[in-house]
């Protein structure tokens, strides 16, 4: 078991397959000439399988594939099917643009639940946020996955002045469609020009929702990052991920592996442990994994506090979100 110095058991691994993406969400990918990692420096399918197996032998029972966009990798299907052999709950976070090509593979891999990113229901605004024109494809694929009985969660990064006025439109969508919307507070990463006054907080969201709907809290479990709510008569639900205003580090069970094989014990950790080089050199990878867990900070990577208005982004040492793997 991978247990840190605050007695948190780590059984959930998020693996980034690539830092490449076919969208350009401004809050995720730095605007300045971002260079994607060359293929040879990415973990290869057999390496991903070996590292994942080692984590599973040490207590991991849930794996999420992410990126960049995991489905732009040409060998994504191979990787998904390799990991499907492990005794884990396998899930995926995707921008949905390529899902139509992966329905059969995901069914074969017994993936039941997907997180799909969609920050607006307005096609024009989608193009502004993602710098690409793929709104209809994303919507069609969300509907396709729901029709094939996948549990679909939709991630919405809420940014003041950008899409905060659409919160109740997303909730209205859950009335007749079994879609589970998760509103995420905007987080600071390298190159995303975050400022604290763009954060639309959990309580601000609840106030906005309260103007039109009566939200009923749903009991979660201790590892949940999302505060969940239902609305009577709605087929779907909604949740709020309050990383900035009310972090949930006490119940954290997550570890991350970047596409170039570096382990991060927290989304906001500065330090990385190079598992891929150790694997390629025949060194002891488990020792590195345990060392990473042993040094995990109590909250927020030890880099800031929940008093997010005091964050100076120039003091944060981290990668951009696209190169960590969300
Ligand atoms: N490409 C896939 C997608 O968009 O779903 C997977 C990778 S993406 C980095 C994973 C998640 O991180 C997405 O839901 C995205 O909205 C979220 N994300 C990226 N940058 C963020 C930020 N600055 N604050 C909050 N969430 C962010
Ligand atoms: Fe690509 Fe996802 Fe980042 Fe958007 S959020 S740029 S889709 S990795």
Render pLDDT for 217-229 as a digit per residue (tens, 0 to 9).
Answer: 999 887 888 999 9
- Cβ density class 169-190: b for 16+ within 10 Å, e for less: ebbbbbeebebbbbbbbbbbbb
Tokens for 89, please give them.
């709950």
Query: Rg of the chain over CA atoms, in angstroms?
Result: 19
DSSP state at residue 208: H
Gap from CA of 291 to ligand 2 centroid (Å):
30
Specify the residue with its C-alpha closest to ligand 1, atom 23: 187
Closest ligand to residue 71's CA: 1
Does the beta carbon of 25 lie inside 6 Å of ligand 2? yes
- Answer yes or no: are the C-beta atoms of 234 and 243 closer than 8 Å: no
- Distance, CA of 202 to CA of 51 (rounded, Å): 36
Q: Tell me the residue length of the chain.
A: 326
Domain at 12-324, CATH from 3.40.640.10, 2.30.30.100, 3.40.50.20, 3.20.20.70:
3.20.20.70
- Check pocket membership of 71 for ligand 2, CB cut-off 6 A: no
Cα atoms in the 13 Å half-sphere on the side-chain side of 325: 28
Q: State both tokens at 212.
A: 């039109």
Q: How many whole angstroms from 66 Cα to the centroid of ligand 2? A: 10
Mean predicted confidence (pLDDT) in 137-146? 98
Q: Where are the domains of the chain?
A: 12-324
303 has a pLDDT exceeding 80: no
- Residue 183 has a pLDDT of 98
Q: Which two tokens stand for residue 311?
A: 């964050």
Given pLDDT bands bounded at 50, 70 and 90, which one contains residue 205?
very high
Q: What is the pLDDT of residue 115?
A: 98
pTM of the model: 0.95
Averaged pLDDT, 291-299: 92
Mutational pocket test of ligand 1: of 142, 321, 324, the residue with most ligand atoms within 8 Å of the beta carbon:
321
Q: Which two tokens stand for residue 203?
A: 């309580």
């Amino acid at each position: 078991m991978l247990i840190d110095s605050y007695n948190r058991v780590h059984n959930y691994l998020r693996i980034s397959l690539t830092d490449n993406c076919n969208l350009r969400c401004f809050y995720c990918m730095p605007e300045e000439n971002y260079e994607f990692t060359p293929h040879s420096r990415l973990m290869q399918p057999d390496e991903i399988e070996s590292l994942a197996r080692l984590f599973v032998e040490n207590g991991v029972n849930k794996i999420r594939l992410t990126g960049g966009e995991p489905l732009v990798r040409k060998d994504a299907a191979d990787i998904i099917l390799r990991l499907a052999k492990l005794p884990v709950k396998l899930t995926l976070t995707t921008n949905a643009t390529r899902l139509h090509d992966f329905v059969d593979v995901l069914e074969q891999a017994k993936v039941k639940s997907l997180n799909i990113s969609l920050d607006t229901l307005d096609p024009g605004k989608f193009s502004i946020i993602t710098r690409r024109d793929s709104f209809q494809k994303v919507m069609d694929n969300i509907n396709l996955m729901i029709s094939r009985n996948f549990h679909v969660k939709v991630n919405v990064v809420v940014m003041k002045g950008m899409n905060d006025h659409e919160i109740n439109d997303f909730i209205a969508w859950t009335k007749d469609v079994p879609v589970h919307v998760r509103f995420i507070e905007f987080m600071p990463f390298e190159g995303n020009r975050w400022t604290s006054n763009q954060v639309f907080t959990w309580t601000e969201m609840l106030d906005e929702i309260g103007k039109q709907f009566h939200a009923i809290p749903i009991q979660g479990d201790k590892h949940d990052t999302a505060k969940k709510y239902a609305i009577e008569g709605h087929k779907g639900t909604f949740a709020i991920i309050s990383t900035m205003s009310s972090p949930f580090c006490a119940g954290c069970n997550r570890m991350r592996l970047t596409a170039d094989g570096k382990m991060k014990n927290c989304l906001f950790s500065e330090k990385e442990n190079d598992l891929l080089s150790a694997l390629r050199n025949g060194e002891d990878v488990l020792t590195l994994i345990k060392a990473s867990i042993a040094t995990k900070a109590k909250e927020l990577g030890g880099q800031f506090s929940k008093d997010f208005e005091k964050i100076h982004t120039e003091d944060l040492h981290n990668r951009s979100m696209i190169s960590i793997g969300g």
